Amino acid sequence: MDRSSAPRHRTRLAQSAIRLLYSATAGSLYDRVVVRGAFPLFGGHMPELLIEQGRAAADDAGAMPVLDMPVGTGVFAAPTALLHSGLVAGVDIAGGMVTQAKKTAEDSGAFNLSVVQADAHHLPFADDSFGAVVSSNGLQVIPDAKTALRELVRVLSPGKRLYLSVVTLPVGAALSRGSSGRLPVVLSSSAGIVDALIDSGLSVASVKRERLALLAEAVKPVRPNPELGRLAVTPAGEP
């Protein structure tokens, strides 16, 4: 293997490990251990706030479809779908999660939740297709979060919102804003996440921290304006 292909190889290996791990836990463990156990511990009221984000996304999208990526077991996407009159597309790379999310949709009567297996780095949707995009607790486990974020922005319709949540150990808060921006998402400060949203072309509307969870809303401008995002938000203090 030459030097230039080593990072791509590492990304592929990381991606395979992530896919296997989430597929293996999707059936019985994930909702019990992660959603009901770890999320409240690390994120305080994060589960309730994610349901709220889903409700806002369903409202915001109007008649347009909503994207939930990564959908996981569908535990948050199903309530969104029940509140939305149009289609909700759930995407996940792990086959086990896709199977479980389909089951969650069926069990909860959310027949407008359609789940597909796909990679966040190459979403199988046309530009500007969605009236809202929800991305809960995914960017910290996706190997190339910048590319994934660019994809989420690409498929979002101009004037519409991305609803983001990530769990981070914000050691980057101790660094200068410039250098903390180079850290992986899981170590990013609030300011680092805001910068990543702005760099992907969004205007940041709100940022909120709940313990280690950061929740943000960001708008895709109708006309791209690199200065717009920087005016919008001063991130709240780190926990």
Cβ neighbours of 171 (radius 10 Å): 14
Q: How far is the CB of 87 from ligand SAM (least distance, A)?
A: 18
Contact of 152 with 133, CB cutoff 8 Å: yes
Site residues (vs ligand SAM, CB under 6 A): 15, 18, 22, 35, 70, 72, 75-76, 91-94, 97, 119-121, 136-138, 141-142
**Residue nearer to ligand SAM on the CB measure, 36 or 230:** 36
Write the CB contacts of 174 (distance below 8 Å, at least 6 apart in sequence): none
Nearer to ligand SAM, 60 or 151 (CB): 151
Least CB distance to ligand SAM at residue 194 (A): 21
Q: Return the residue nearest ligand SAM (CB atom).
A: 72
The four Cα atoms 95, 187, 197, 55 give a dihedral, to 10 degrees, of 60
Q: How far is the CB of 125 from ligand SAM (least distance, A)?
A: 13
Of 20 and 222, CB closest to ligand SAM: 20
Measured from the CB atom, the residue of 77 and 203 that comes closer to ligand SAM is: 77
Q: Which among 127, 87, 126 is positioned nearest to 105, based on CA atoms?
A: 87
Could you give the CA distance from residue 32 to residue 224 in angstroms, rounded to a whole number?
42
